[in-house]
Amino acid sequence: MVFDVHIFVCCNQRSGDERLSCGEAHGLALVAAFKKHLKSVPNMKLRANKSGCLGICDFGPTVAIYPEGTFYVGVKEADVIEIVESHIKGGKPVERLLLKK
């Protein structure tokens, strides 16, 4: 199936490693929150699922949105509604959460 929007939430956990990892900071809770709130978006094929490491865990919980390849960092559960409303429904990325290049 081809999705209009596919959301990947890093759920990587590095056990016994000093480096940060997204999954330890509520990755699975973010996946559940996205799945819940995506139900409010009509007429689009949407999917949210956990992913392995996206390579930028130092910036906090990471979310990648495709097909455009937008990366959000430091994402908290409270940010999910804003991402869904502004980005998914409205087409406007949430600037304060964007990965700065």
CB atoms within 10 A of CB 93: 16
Range 4-17 average pLDDT: 83
CATH number given to 5-97: 3.40.30.10
Range 75-98 average pLDDT: 97
Range 40-66 average pLDDT: 90
Structure tokens at 81: 């509604």
The yes-or-no verdict on residue 16 having pLDDT over 70 is no
Radius of gyration over every alpha carbon of the chain, rounded to an integer in angstroms: 13
The yes-or-no verdict on residue 21 having pLDDT over 80 is no
What per-residue confidence (pLDDT) applies to 53? 84
pTM of the full predicted structure? 0.89
Range 87-97 average pLDDT: 97
| DSSP one-letter string for 39-81 | TT-TT--EEEEEES--S-GGGSS-EEEETTTEEE-S--HHHHH
Structure tokens at 56: 């930028």
CA distances from 96 to 44, 49, 83, 100 (A): 25, 23, 11, 10
